[in-house]
Structure formats: C-alpha cells, structure tokens
Chains A and B, each alone.
Chain A
C-alpha cells in the first residue's frame, strides 16, 4: 500500500465516526460552567454590590428624612393654645388635680375622664378622644379660697376629704390627631448563634474540583488514571451578626422595622479523599526462563520472554481539614406586634430578609487540595424568613434595650447545589427614640 495512502485510509476510517458519550458528563460540564460563571459574575459585580448597598442606604435615609419632615408638619399644624380658668378639686398635700368641673371664664372646659396623676400632662383624655400630650400650667398663681383651705392633718387622715379651689391658670395643650401617634426609632444591633451545616455538607468540593487535578494534589502527583471519590463532613457553625436598624411604630401596637446587617458564618469540617489509580504498564523487562534438558538429555538454552501490558491498581486515602466561611449583607424587613408595651415590652416579630453574598469560601488550612477559595458555591442572593420574640426595657425615657431570640429559615438556598441553612440567633440592641 502506498505510504501516502495509508494515513488517508486510517483517517477516513475515523471520519464521521462516533461513540456514545457516557451519561452524566454534561451535568459535570454544566456544573463547572455555572461555578465559573458565578465566580466571574461575582468578580464583575463586586463594585456594583457596594454601589447597590449604598443606593439602598441613601434611599432609606431620604425616605426617613421625608417622613420626619411630614411628621413635623402634622404636629405644628395641630398645636393649640388654650387658656382656662378652672375650679378644680384636688388633694391639698400632693396638689393633685382630680376633676376640673367648670370654667369660670365662660369658656367651655373639656370634661376629663380621668386625671389621677400628680402630673397633669399625663393621662388627660378628653371626651372627644383627643389625646392631650402636654398640659402645662402657665401660672403658678393658684388662688385657694381661704375658708375652704384644708389643714394638712385632715388631708392626711382622710383622703376622701377634698376641697374646691379656684385655679387661676393657663393651660397649653398640644393636640395631635391619632394618625400622628407614630414613634420612630433607630438603633444598633449585634448577635450570635448557631447554624445548621447541611448546606455546606454535601460534597461541594467534589463538584468544584477537577478529579484528576485533585488526585494529583493529594498524592505524589504521578497518578496515571485516577478515579477520585470525595466525601465531605461539616460541623454546625457559629453565626455572628452586627448592624443597624430603624423602625416605625403605628398606633400603640404595630411596628415596621428595617435596616442593614452584616453576618459572618463559620464552620469547620473535613474531606475524605480516596484515589483509585488503575493503569497498565508495558513490561519491558525480559524474564529469563531457565533451560532444562530435552528428550535426549541435552541441555536446552535459556530463553527470554516478556509479558505485555500489566494492570496496576493502587489506592490512596487522604483526609484534610476544611474551613467554610460565608459573609452576607442583609436587609431585613419585619412587622411587629407589641403584646406588652410599657417600661418592659414584649413584641412578636416576623418578616423577610434579603441577603447578598459578600464572600463565600471553602479552604483547607494545609492548602493541600485547595489553592483557591473561590468556587462560586454560593448564590449571590438568598432570602430568609424571620420569626422572633423581642424583650425590651426602656431606659432614660428615649433609650430602649432589647434582647431578641430569633429563628431564620431560608426560603431560597444559600448554596448553588444544596440545602438552605437555618439559623438560631440571639440579638441584643440599643435603640434611641427619635420621635
């Protein structure tokens, strides 16, 4: 056969021929592509994610400023100044005003339902349900009708003995409609808790690394035809969170709250790697076959032979420690209901949290199998449902100290391939009431 034609002939034999590729390779290709794309996307979007967070903050601040402006206008427009001359009953010793009965100035005086406080600015509710926030006695010039002035002994002995006094005073009332009863606060929060390991526990490394490359890293680097199995075992981890929040209270019970929180989640574990290396070698060594004697008793010559391909099978087991770290920037939105709202408060909270992946990495401290920690294993965005019970204690009038055990359960998975984590976190916070 012509030498030129030999190669052509061989080439033609293979032209257009196919052998069915095994199932499962496409899913491996697709998985690797997704991981690559996510890493690429993550890198490209790094600058945009901080811009997004900044934009959200600016929007929140702008809306907050607009809200406060609106609040001021409501308050100013409803301020009234009223002067009363009233004849009041009261306790002489404590100078507690109980009931204003009639106006001496001819101006109709609201009928107050209760006024059992020593401070007339508290708990004065008129019949028309208008809340009077502030009542200020303009004049200290209270004129008692001398003939009715009780002696201290009588007032102390019998609290039911009251006298009527004329009160020359001016009361300034600040009225606000019920719609302006909103309270606004801002605060700082920090917390810690644990999270389930399931999302980082299902062979994320195995899906992220080329088996041949891993095999080469594990052993001597001289594997011929390695098949690699990796099992990954991760422990539960610690979640830490810090952030700020702002909230609005509508009426006496309902609240709406949002903010920005940074969460870091760390857990440790290990990867068990088994490499099975099966390959064939050409045996180039000749084997001497010792000679013997033939039928005539003559010695036969020593012959040499060699085997062809020899199959070799080698097994390598290896275990490495793993560290997993996920950092999230979260924007929670929570609705709350005050079960108790006094100096001590008890509030039920429920809501959603949008989480943006700031960093997600799996690494081995020994750097035996992972040189790079960026595998794009985690989704850029994930969403949690939040439920919590907040205990509050009011201090210095405007400040509120809070303690909130809460549970977060993922609505969408945090990891590309596996389950979503659930978290139990105890948060503490300090809030300042702005309005």
Chain B
C-alpha cells in the first residue's frame, strides 16, 4: 500500500486497519533500531516497539503537524523506552578518573565504528550510561533537558555521559585487541 503521509495519518485517525498496518510497515524497522538502542535484550526491544505503536494509534488523533510523523513516533518510542528503563536507572554523579584525558582520541575511536557495531556496544553499557548516551549523542537532548526528563542533576547527566564515552572507547580497544592480538594500536 503506497499512500502519502497525509493520507496515512487521516486513515489512522479514522481507525482504518489497512492504514494502521501501512504506517506500522513504514516505520517499524527504523523504530525497532531506536528500541534496540535503549534495551539490552531483544524481547525488551520488541515490548517497547509494541507498546509504542499501541500508543501511536491511540494518540494519533492528537497528532499536530508541527513536527514530522517520523519524529513524533520516535519521541513516543524514546519515552516508552525511558519508562521501561526507569526502574533500572540508578543514576548518580560519577567521577571519572579519565576526565582529564584527551577526549579527541577516544571520540575518534568511537567514531571509527559503523552503526551496527556501535549499537552493539551501546547495548552493553550499564543502563544509566546507555540511556544518557542515547539521549545526548543521538537524540540531541541537552544535559539540562535530560536532567529534567530523568529527574537528575545536570552534573549527573554530564558525568554519566563521560563515563559512557570512556566505556565505549575501552570496549572498542578491547575488541581491537582481541581481533588483532596483543599488537599495540
């Protein structure tokens, strides 16, 4: 079924199943990637995706065109994921001993990864670091916005983000070591 986004929205607002399925088919793969970024297990990502689309269809009558449909759905997926992770978030300020390190080297290491490998490593991060890395680096939230969203201090958000980057860089280097033996990189 190939229809314009406007028709898709109107069809879903009228509760027509064929339009709902077309909307799901159009966005499910992209949103599944978002759900995976915030989860550790596949089942959890599936639950997030399911809940998100239920919310999409329930609330699509309230959708205003001041943002794109994709952005609106993504926001729902992110919020659903945050609700899922909230019980597991024990966020506290972290003093990273590497704070004074040269970030550019670590960032270069992380940036050298493809999205699939990066996704794998993000999912291995502790839940707090995983959530804040996703929100800041990928969703583009500011630290004060994250602080408000998660009811934490801005400093906690910043330190968790630094910790996430450090861990990611470490994980990349560990992988490289395994891949290339003990040869110095």
Binding site for B on A (CB under 8 A): 1-3, 6-7, 9-11, 13-14, 16-22, 25-26, 28-30, 32-33, 36-37, 210-212, 222, 224-227, 278-280, 282, 309
| Given contact pairs A14-B37, A22-B42, A37-B15, a sample of 14 additional A-B residue pairs in the complex whose CB atoms are under 8 Å apart | A6-B103, A9-B111, A10-B111, A21-B28, A22-B46, A28-B50, A29-B24, A29-B54, A33-B58, A210-B51, A224-B88, A226-B43, A280-B40, A282-B126
- Flag the segment in B132-140, B149-157, B177-185 that touches A: B132-140
Chain A, Cβ-Cβ closest to B47: A212
Q: A22-B42, A26-B24 are in contact. Are A10 and B49 (CB under 8 A)?
A: no
Contact B57 A212 (CB under 8 A): no
For the complex formed, measure the closest distance between the CB of B171 and the CB atoms of chain A, giving whole angstroms. Answer: 9
Which residues from chain B sit less than 8 Å from chain A, CB to CB? Answer: 15, 17, 20-21, 24-25, 28-33, 36-37, 39-44, 46-47, 49-51, 53-54, 57-58, 84, 87-88, 103-104, 107-108, 110-111, 113-115, 118-119, 124, 126, 136-138, 140
Q: In the complex, how many angstroms separate the beta carbon of B133 from the nearest chain A beta carbon?
A: 9
Q: Give A1 to B111 CA distance when docked, in angstroms.
A: 9
Partner of A7, one of B42, B113, B114, B140: B140
Distance to closest chain A CB from B12 (angstroms):
10
Closest to B174 in A: A308
Query: Which one of B47, B88, B107 contacts A6 once the chains associate, using CB atoms below 8 Å?
Result: B107
Contact present for A18 and B126 (CB under 8 Å): no
Of B33, B37, B41, which is within 8 A of A18 by CB?
B33
The answer to whether B21 touches A1, judged by C-beta atoms less than 8 angstroms apart, is: no
B-chain residues with CB within 8 Å of residue A25 when the two chains form the complex: 28, 46, 49-50, 53
Interface residue SS majority, chain B: helix
| A83 and B1 alpha carbons, distance in the complex (Å) | 86
Q: In this complex, what residue of A is CB-closest to B49?
A: A25
A22 cross-chain contacts in B, Cβ below 8 A:
32, 42, 46
CB contacts (< 8 Å) of B113 on chain A: these are 13
Nearest Cβ distance between residue B114 and chain A, in whole angstroms? 7
Distance of B75 from chain A, by nearest CB (Å) = 15
Interface centre among A10, A28, A226 (most CB of B within 10 A): A10
- Complex interface: chain B residues within 8 A of A3 (CB): 103, 107
| Interchain nearest-CB distance for B119 vs A (Å) | 8
* Least Cβ–Cβ distance between A341 and chain B, in angstroms: 53
Are B33 and A211 neighbours in the complex by a CB distance under 8 Å? Answer: no
Are B32 and A1 within 8 A (Cβ)?
no
Q: Chain B contacts of A26 at CB under 8 A?
A: 21, 24-25, 28
Q: In the complex the two chains form, is A14's CB within 8 Å of B33's CB?
A: yes
Of A13, A28, A30, A278, which contacts B41 at CB under 8 A?
Answer: A278
Question: Smallest distance from the beta carbon of A396 to chain B beta carbons, Å?
Answer: 57
List the 3 closest A-B pairs by CB distance, nearest first: A18-B29, A21-B32, A21-B28
Q: How far is the CA of A32 from the CA of B15 in the complex (A)?
A: 13
A285 vs chain B, min Cβ distance (A): 14
| Chain B hits for A210, CB < 8 A | 47, 50-51
C-alpha gap A228/B47 in the complex (Å): 11
Q: Given that A37-B15, A225-B43 are known contacts, is A20 also in contact with B111, CB under 8 Å in the complex?
A: no
- Closest Cβ–Cβ distance, residue B77 to chain A (whole Å): 12
B residues within 8 A CB of A32?
A: 50, 54
Contact B124 A309 (CB under 8 A): yes
Q: Which residue of A lies closest to B36 (CB)?
A: A19
A226–B53 Cα distance when bound, in Å, is: 20
Contacts of A224 in B (CB 8 A): 88
Smallest distance from the beta carbon of A103 to chain B beta carbons, Å?
81
Residues of A within 8 A of B39 (CB): 225
Q: Which residues of A contact B43 (CB under 8 A)?
A: 225-227
Residues of A within 8 A of B111 (CB): 1, 6, 9-10
